[in-house]
C-alpha cells in the first residue's frame, strides 16, 4: 500500500465522534413523510430553513441578481472572468454594511478589512494559521461546537484547551475558569495564543452579557493573547437581552484593549440560511492578520457568482431591514412552540434567546451520572426514537445528560412528528410530568394519514400555538418596531 501523510491517515477530522455518527444514522435512513415515515429525523443540523420564503420572494422580484436569467445574463462575462482574492468591492461593502445592521448599527465595519473564506470553517482555520504555530493552544469555553476540533486543529496542529463552565451558573464564562485553564496549559508546557468564544453560543443558544465580554477583553489584554469572536449567529437573537458584539465592547471608553488582538469570524450560513453558498468572513483589527488572511483566502474563495448575488441582495436596505425583523419573529415563534411542547412532557431546557437550537436537559433520564449512560441514552434516541440529536459530550460538556436539539431545519409537519416521537418516548419512560389537554392541531400543508392525524390530535394542547398562529411579538422585535 502506498504510504500517505499523517494528516491523511489520522483522525483529526473527528468524523468518528457521536456528533457525526448521528448524521450517518440520518443519511442511512432519512425521514420522509410518505416514503420513509419511520426514518430518522435530522435534529442535529443547525440550519435556518424558516427564512427561505423571505429569500425566495426577493429572488422572484429581482431576477437580475442571478447570472442565469435573461435579466442577469449581461453581467455573466465580467463576473465569470478572473477575480482576485480581495473580492468584489460591492460584495465587501454590502457584507460590511449588513454586519453593522445585524448589530443594530451601533458599530461600523470597514469593507477593506473584510476577508473572504469558504464558510466559517475556512475562516476559523485561516485565523488559526495566522495566529498560532503547531503545538500552541487556544482556550475555548465549554460546551463548544464539535467542528472546532476539525476547523482549528486538524491541519494547523494547534491545540484546543477547554475552559470548564458549569450548569449551576448557566454555563457562564468566569474569570476564575479562564485563569484555571490558562494555568493548566502552562503546566503542560504549552503556549497560549488566544481565547475563542462563540457569541451567541452554539450549543447553548444564549448571548454573552456586556460585563462578561469586558472581563474577557481584560483577560486577553492582561495575558497579551488573541481573542477570536465567532459571531455567526448574530442575527438569530430573537428575544431580549440583545446581542452585544465584541466590536462594540472595544469601542467603549472604560475598556482598554490592544485592538491588534481582536478578530471576528462571521458567515451568512446561519443568519441568512446560506450554508451551501460557503460565505465566510474574517474581520480583524490587526493589519498584519488582514494581509496574511487575504493571501490565504486564495485556497477558499467565495465564487464570483455568489458574490454578485449576495452584493445585490444585501444592498437592498428595505429588504435587509425587513428580513432581520421577520427572521427573528419566525425563530421566536418556532422556539416558543418547541420549548413549550417539551415542557408539557417534563423536559427542561437551558433558557435561551438565540440560535437555531435548544440545550435540552435529559439528566433525569440517565441510569447513572456518567458519560457512558449519556451515550446509552443517545443510542436509544437515535436508533429507537429515530431522532438525530447531539449528545453534550460531543460538545465537550463536562456534565452528562445535556443534548443539543435543532428546531429550525425542518417544516412544521416534520417538527410535529418529532415532537410526537418525543412525547411517546417520555410516556413510555413515565416522564410525562404535565398532563396534556387535547385539541385539534393547526392545519398542515401536507395531507396526513387518518391515523397519524389522530395521534397529532392527542399531542396538541389548547395552550400551544402553531408557528402560523398569532403569537405575542418577540420583545426584541417589538422594541425595534
Instruction: Classify residue 333: in a domain, yes or no.
Output: yes
> Which of 232, 249, 347, 358 does the annotation list as catalytic?
232
178 lies in the same domain as 264: yes
To which H or E segment does residue 360 belong? strand 357-361
Q: Are residues 281 and 299 in the same domain?
A: yes
Residue 168: how many other CB atoms lie within 10 Å: 8
- Sheet of strand 402-406: strand arrangement: 348-349, 357-361, 402-406, 390-391
- Spatial contact of 260 and 285, defined as CB atoms under 8 Å apart: yes
Round to whole Å and give the CA distance between 386 and 363.
20
On whether residue 474 sits in a domain, the answer given is: no
311 lies in the same domain as 333: no
Can you give the pLDDT at residue 214? Answer: 97
C-alpha cell belonging to residue 213: 465580554
Domain-embedded: residue 60: no
Cβ 137 vs Cβ 192: under 8 Å: yes
Residue 444 maps to a domain? no
Same domain for 233 and 368? no
Residues 6+ apart with CB under 8 A from 159: 135, 136, 137, 138, 153, 190
pLDDT of residue 464: 33
Cell numbers at 418, concatenated: 418529532
Please indicate, yes or no, whether residues 235 and 147 belong to a single structural domain of this protein: yes
106 & 205 share domain: yes
Residues 153 and 266 in one domain: yes
Question: Do residues 325 and 363 share a domain?
Answer: yes
pLDDT at 480: 46
CA 203 to chain centre: 7
Tell me, yes or no, whether 414 lies in a domain: yes
Asked if residue 480 is part of any domain, the answer here is no
Which of 407, 429, 451 is a domain's end point?
429
Q: Of 254, 281, 315, which residue sits at a domain end?
A: 315
476 occurs within a structural domain: no
Dig out the grid coordinates for 466 from the structure: 402553531
> b or e along 7-41 (b: 16 or more beta carbons within 10 Å of the residue's beta carbon)?
eeeeebebeebbbbbbbebbeeeebebeeeeebbb
Are 374 and 393 in contact by the 8 Å Cβ rule? The answer is yes
Closest CA to 150 of 272, 295, 20: 20
Q: 232 catalytic, yes or no?
A: yes
117 cis-preceded (ω within 30 degrees of 0): no
Asked, for residue 98, whether it belongs to a domain, the answer is: yes
CATH number of the domain that residue 152 is part of: 3.40.640.10
HEC-encoded secondary structure of 116-169: EEEHHHHHHHHHHHHHCCCCCEEEEECCCCCCHHHHHHCCCCCEEEEECCCHHH
Residue 343: strand, helix, or coil: helix
- Enter the DSSP assignment of 205: -
Choose, from 230, 271, 361, 412, the residue flagged as catalytic.
230
Q: Write out the H or E segment, with its range, that includes residue 304.
A: helix 304-314
- Looking at the fold, whether 347 and 288 belong to one and the same domain comes out as no
Q: How many CB atoms lie within 10 A of CB 465?
A: 17
Distance CA 225, CA 262 (A): 9
Our measurement of the distance from residue 321's CA atom to the centroid of its chain's CA atoms, rounded to an integer in Å, reads 21
Full residue range of the structural domain in which residue 394 is found: 18-52+321-429
CATH number at residue 326: 3.90.1150.10
Catalytic member of 97, 270, 336, 386: 270
Indicate the residue among 414, 429, 444 that finishes a domain. 429
Pairing of strands 159-163, 226-230: unpaired
Instruction: Quote the CA–CA distance of 102 and 108 in Å, as a whole number.
Output: 11
pTM summary value? 0.86
Same domain, 137 and 207: yes
How much is the pLDDT for 184?
A: 93
Per the annotation, the verdict on 184 as an active-site residue is no
Question: 19, 145, 233, 283: which one is catalytic?
Answer: 145
Low-confidence ranges of the chain (pLDDT < 50): 431-473, 475, 477-481
Are 101 and 42 contained in the same domain? Answer: no
Residues pairing with 279 in the sheet: 118
Q: What is the pLDDT of residue 460?
A: 39
Split into its structural domains, the chain has a count of 2
127 and 270 housed in the same domain: yes
| CA geometry: angle 192, 193, 199, nearest 5 deg | 105
Q: In whole angstroms, give the CA distance from residue 381 to residue 109.
A: 44
Q: What does the alpha-carbon distance between residue 23 and residue 36 come to, in Å, rounded to a whole number?
A: 16
Amino acid at each position: 500500500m502506498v504510504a500517505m501523510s499523517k494528516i491523511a491517515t489520522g483522525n483529526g477530522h473527528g468524523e468518528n465522534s457521536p456528533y457525526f455518527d448521528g448524521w450517518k444514522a440520518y443519511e442511512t435512513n432519512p425521514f420522509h413523510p410518505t416514503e420513509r415515515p419511520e426514518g430518522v429525523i435530522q435534529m442535529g443540523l443547525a440550519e435556518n430553513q424558516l427564512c427561505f420564503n423571505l429569500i425566495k420572494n426577493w429572488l422572484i422580484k429581482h431576477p437580475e441578481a442571478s447570472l442565469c436569467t435573461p435579466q442577469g445574463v449581461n453581467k455573466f462575462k465580467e463576473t465569470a472572468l478572473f477575480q482576485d482574492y480581495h473580492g468584489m468591492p460591492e460584495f465587501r461593502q454590502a457584507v460590511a454594511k449588513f454586519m453593522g445592521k445585524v448589530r443594530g448599527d451601533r458599530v461600523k465595519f470597514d469593507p477593506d478589512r473584510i476577508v473572504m473564506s469558504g464558510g466559517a470553517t475556512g475562516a476559523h482555520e485561516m485565523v488559526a494559521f495566522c495566529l498560532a504555530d503547531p503545538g500552541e493552544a487556544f482556550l475555548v469555553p465549554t460546551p463548544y461546537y464539535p467542528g472546532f476540533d476539525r476547523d482549528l486543529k486538524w491541519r494547523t496542529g494547534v491545540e484546543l484547551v477547554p475552559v470548564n463552565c458549569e450548569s449551576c451558573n448557566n454555563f457562564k464564562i468566569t474569570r476564575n475558569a479562564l485563569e484555571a485553564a490558562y494555568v493548566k496549559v502552562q503546566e503542560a508546557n504549552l503556549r497560549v495564543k488566544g481565547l475563542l468564544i462563540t457569541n451567541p453560543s452554539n450549543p447553548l443558544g444564549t448571548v454573552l452579557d456586556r460585563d462578561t465580554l469586558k472581563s474577557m477583553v481584560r483577560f486577553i489584554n492582561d495575558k497579551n493573547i488573541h481573542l477570536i469572536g465567532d459571531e455567526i449567529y448574530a442575527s438569530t437573537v430573537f428575544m431580549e437581552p440583545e446581542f452585544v458584539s465584541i466590536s462594540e465592547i472595544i469601542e467603549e471608553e472604560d475598556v482598554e484593549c490592544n485592538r491588534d488582538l481582536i478578530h471576528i469570524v462571521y458567515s451568512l450560513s446561519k443568519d441568512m440560511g446560506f450554508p451551501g453558498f460557503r460565505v465566510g468572513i474574517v474581520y480583524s483589527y490587526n493589519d498584519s492578520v488582514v494581509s496574511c488572511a487575504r493571501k490565504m483566502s486564495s485556497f477558499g474563495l467565495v465564487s464570483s457568482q455568489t458574490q454578485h448575488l449576495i452584493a445585490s441582495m444585501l444592498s437592498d436596505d428595505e429588504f435587509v431591514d425587513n428580513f432581520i425583523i421577520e427572521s427573528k419573529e419566525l425563530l421566536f415563534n418556532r422556539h416558543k412552540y418547541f420549548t413549550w411542547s417539551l415542557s408539557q412532557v417534563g423536559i427542561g431546557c437551558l433558557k435561551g434567546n438565540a440560535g437555531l437550537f435548544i440545550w435540552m436537559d435529559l439528566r433525569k433520564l440517565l441510569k447513572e451520572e456518567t458519560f457512558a449512560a449519556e451515550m446509552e441514552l443517545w443510542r436509544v434516541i437515535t436508533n429507537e426514537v429515530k431522532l438525530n440529536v447531539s449528545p453534550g459530550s460531543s460538545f465537550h460538556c463536562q456534565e452528562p445528560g445535556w443534548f443539543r436539539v435543532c428546531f429550525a431545519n425542518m417544516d412544521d409537519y416534520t417538527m410535529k412528528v418529532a415532537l410526537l416521537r418525543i412525547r411517546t418516548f417520555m410516556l413510555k419512560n413515565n416522564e410525562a410530568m404535565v398532563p396534556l389537554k387535547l385539541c385539534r392541531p393547526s392545519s398542515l400543508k401536507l395531507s396526513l394519514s387518518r391515523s397519524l392525524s389522530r395521534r397529532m390530535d392527542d399531542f396538541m394542547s389548547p395552550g400551544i400555538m402553531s408557528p402560523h398562529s398569532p403569537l405575542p411579538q418577540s420583545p426584541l422585535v417589538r422594541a425595534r418596531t
